[in-house]
Amino acid sequence: MSPRGKKTGELPPGALWAEEIPQVPQMLAGFQIKNRAAVESHASTPSSMLMPMPTAGGTVRRVDDWLKRLDNLFNRIKAWAAANGWTADDGPPVPMREEIMRLFKIGKRPQPTLTVLSPEGAKISIKPKGLWVIGANGRVDIYSGKGVFTLVDVADPFKAPKWVLHRVGQTDGRPFDPKQLAEMI
């Protein structure tokens, strides 16, 4: 029994108490927690500020959603390229094996990449960087002759993506439109 009176496994999705999810002690083992009471007691924290603890099923769902968003993003870019005399071809997939996936023993998943060529032959490579990034719902890197750019999805998980384009090292981003690729060559 947990301190809240429920057996492990009987909680609704998004349980917040570490002892109610068997993997949490393993997850916290490497961290030094200065104020354990503050971590374990959420009595004064508004529920809207609490993040649900990750689960294997929730992690798989996030990964599947990420791969779907990547496919949709790359299809938008391919459609723009075809309509504007550019070419866009699938590149070699890159493995997705993030820390939380290892924690839940979720196998590697292939992530798509994309190579875009301008009519003049300038090359742009587009590669996923990661799903779990601070402040975003995934990051994709864009490599071009003018440098490295990032696309970050600033939408909440499982919501329609809001891709924002940034130049690496700059904080000001702008909503992404595939036509911006022409500015990167």
What are the tens digits of pLDDT across the range 9-48?
Answer: 444 455 444 444 455 455 545 444 454 554 454 444 444 4
Same domain, 44 and 127: no
Cα→Cα distances 70→54, 130, 137, 175, 184, Å: 22, 11, 12, 16, 20
pLDDT tens digits, residue range 72-107?
999 999 999 999 999 999 999 999 999 999 999 999
* Burial group, residue 3, by CB count within 10 angstroms (0-12, 13-18, 19+): exposed
Same domain, 179 and 111: yes
Same domain, 78 and 117: yes
When divided into structural domains, the chain yields a total of 2
What is the mean predicted confidence (pLDDT) over 151-174?
Answer: 93
For residue 121, how many C-alpha atoms fall within 13 Å in the half-sphere facing its CB? 0
pLDDT at 3: 45
Per the structure, the complete domain to which residue 20 belongs is given by 1-53
Same domain, 120 and 136: yes
Same domain, 21 and 103: no
- Using DSSP, state whether 143 is helix, strand or coil: strand
Same domain, 25 and 100: no
Same domain, 35 and 118: no
- Higher-confidence residue of 143 and 29: namely 143
pLDDT at 169: 80
Same domain, 119 and 145: yes
Distance from first CA to last CA of the chain, Å, rounded?
A: 61
Q: Please say if the pLDDT value at position 185 is more than 80.
A: yes
Same domain, 8 and 61: no
What is the mean predicted confidence (pLDDT) over 111-128?
Answer: 98
Same domain, 70 and 160: yes
Question: What letters, b where the CB count within 10 A reaches 16 and e where it falls short, cover 57-88?
Answer: ebbeebbebbbebbeebbeebbebbeeeebeb
Same domain, 73 and 161: yes
Same domain, 48 and 69: no
